[in-house]
Amino acid sequence: MDKIYKQTMLFDFYGELLTEHQRRVYEDAVYQDMSLGEIAEELGISRQGVHDLIRRCDKILLDYESKLHLVERFNRAKETVRAIEGLTNQAEGTMDIPDRLQAIRSLARKLLEEL
Amino acid sequence: MDKIYKQTMLFDFYGELLTEHQRRVYEDAVYQDMSLGEIAEELGISRQGVHDLIRRCDKILLDYESKLHLVERFNRAKETVRAIEGLTNQAEGTMDIPDRLQAIRSLARKLLEEL
């Protein structure tokens, strides 16, 4: 997973647990792709201050993920949903309808475990 | 939702964010259905202390839910998965197969939004 994508996922799930100030800086850096210098100027703090704040947010968000595993669970559940979606495509595959419905049913049950 | 069920759901999602001590007391009360007196004796603290600790945990867990809404999202996603499961039951309903697969497909897409 590339770094910005990972930061975005973590922020999507746990961003609400940051302070407003942390959220703002992190959003500027991760979503707006602003440079440390730009963010520093906007907020009237040093580049080093911005840098430290972002590293601190990374750590906070990773700590939450290590406890709650929401990003991991979401990614797993998403794959299962995609597999269900794939099975609804009548044009594809050689599986007959009863088998197909049975496979979707199994995936739905698997999904309930993964949520 | 009844109170114990709600506490169990909140604990399932956010229990890892409590301290070990808080988790232990909360588990004794909510999962083991132990009385305040029993927990107090086990831990060598007052009944009032146990009572306050449980209220405090309720508050912490509800605060997380008010920010992350995991229980709410889980319940919504679960309903959608159940609806998919229902549609895989060939014996039921009058919907023909192409419509049924289409309906499952729509629900799978809805689910991706809900996760």
In terms of CA atoms, which chain B residue is nearest residue A72? B115
The last residue of one of the domains, among A49, A68, A87, is A68
Range(s) of the domain holding residue B97:
72-114
The last residue of one of the domains, among A68, A84, A101, is A68
DSSP state of B88: T
Are A76 and A64 in a shared domain? no
Are A57 and A76 in a shared domain? no
Q: How confident is the model at residue B115 (pLDDT cuts 50, 70, 90)?
A: confident
**B112 to A81: CB separation less than 8 angstroms, yes or no:** yes
Are A60 and A103 in a shared domain? no
Are B77 and B60 in a shared domain? no
State the best of B85, B87, B106 to mutate against chain A, taking most chain A CBs within 10 Å. B85
State whether residue B44 is helix, strand or coil: coil
CB pairs under 8 A between A and B: 69
Whether the complex's predicted ipTM surpasses the cut of 0.85: no
Are A78 and A42 in a shared domain? no
How far from A85 is each of A53, A75, A77, B104, CA to CA, in Å? 41, 15, 12, 8
Are B79 and B91 in a shared domain? yes
Number of domains forming the structure of chain A: 2
Are B77 and B62 in a shared domain? no
Closest CA to B102 of A98, A84, A110: A84
Whole-structure pTM value: 0.86
- Count how many Cα atoms sit within 13 Å of the Cα of residue B89 in the half-sphere of its side chain: 9
The Cα–Cα gap between A84 and A101 comes to 10
Are A90 and A107 in a shared domain? yes
Are B29 and B41 in a shared domain? yes
Q: What is the CATH number of the domain that holds A38?
A: 1.10.10.10
User: Which has more pLDDT, B95 or B60?
Assistant: B60
Are B58 and B107 in a shared domain? no
The answer to whether residues B38 and B52 touch, using CB atoms and an 8 Å cutoff, is no
- Tell me which long-range contacts A92-100 makes (C-beta under 8 A, separation of at least 24): A97/B90, A97/B97, A98/B90, A100/B101
Are B15 and B50 in a shared domain? yes
Q: Which residues of A touch B (CB under 8 A)?
A: 13-14, 16-17, 64, 67-68, 70, 74, 77-78, 81-82, 84-85, 88-90, 97-98, 100-102, 104-105, 108-109, 111-112, 115
User: Which has more pLDDT, A4 or A14?
Assistant: A14
Ranges A26-30, A96-100, B103-107: which has the least confidence = A96-100
Are A56 and A80 in a shared domain? no
